[in-house]
Amino acid sequence: MNIKLKKLSRSTSRRGLYLLENSPLKCPFHSYSDAENSNCAKAYKAYLYAVLELNQKPRDAALKLSKQCKILVSGRWKSPTRAAVVGEIRKIVRQGSVVIGTHRAPDPGHGLAAYLRWKYPDADQLELTHAR
């Protein structure tokens, strides 16, 4: 899977970009500083893992991770259904590539990229091992 990140600005064309703020994959966590951004990105990757791999409800996973990581759930986040999150990931995977529009670096969008790279690595990321 080909995954790219593109920093958004006011002049950036949003055409062809995957925008998290309008998606069921929107990050549930809110950072108030750049230092919190990396914690939010890590928590977001863990959130996706909990929802997609452990079959947890998005709201439950977000609240649990919020307490564990000592970060806040955004007041603007509306909890999607698990089916909506799964459907959105399937849509991205079917396309085979995605360009994620982000506002900051590291942005919660990086959590999505990290999850996708972990779950659907490029062929050159895979190692072949031989049984002896």
pTM: 0.84
Domain boundaries, the chain: 35-99+108-122
Residue 81 is classified by DSSP as: P
Predicted confidence (pLDDT) per residue in 25-52, tens digit: 999 998 777 777 888 889 999 999 999 9
Instruction: Calculate the average pLDDT of the chain.
Output: 86
Per residue in 75-132, pLDDT tens?
999 999 999 999 999 999 999 989 988 877 666 668 899 899 889 887 665 555 555 4
Quote the pLDDT of residue 129. 57
What is the C-alpha to C-alpha distance for residues 94 and 90, in angstroms, rounded to an integer? 6
Percentage of the chain modeled with pLDDT above 90: 48
**Edge-to-edge strand ranges of the sheet holding 18-19:** 2-7, 97-102, 18-19
Q: Enter the tokens of residue 38.
A: 């990396």
- From residue 103, give the alpha-carbon distance in Å to each of 13, 31, 120, 121: 13, 12, 24, 24
- Position 19 scores a pLDDT of 86
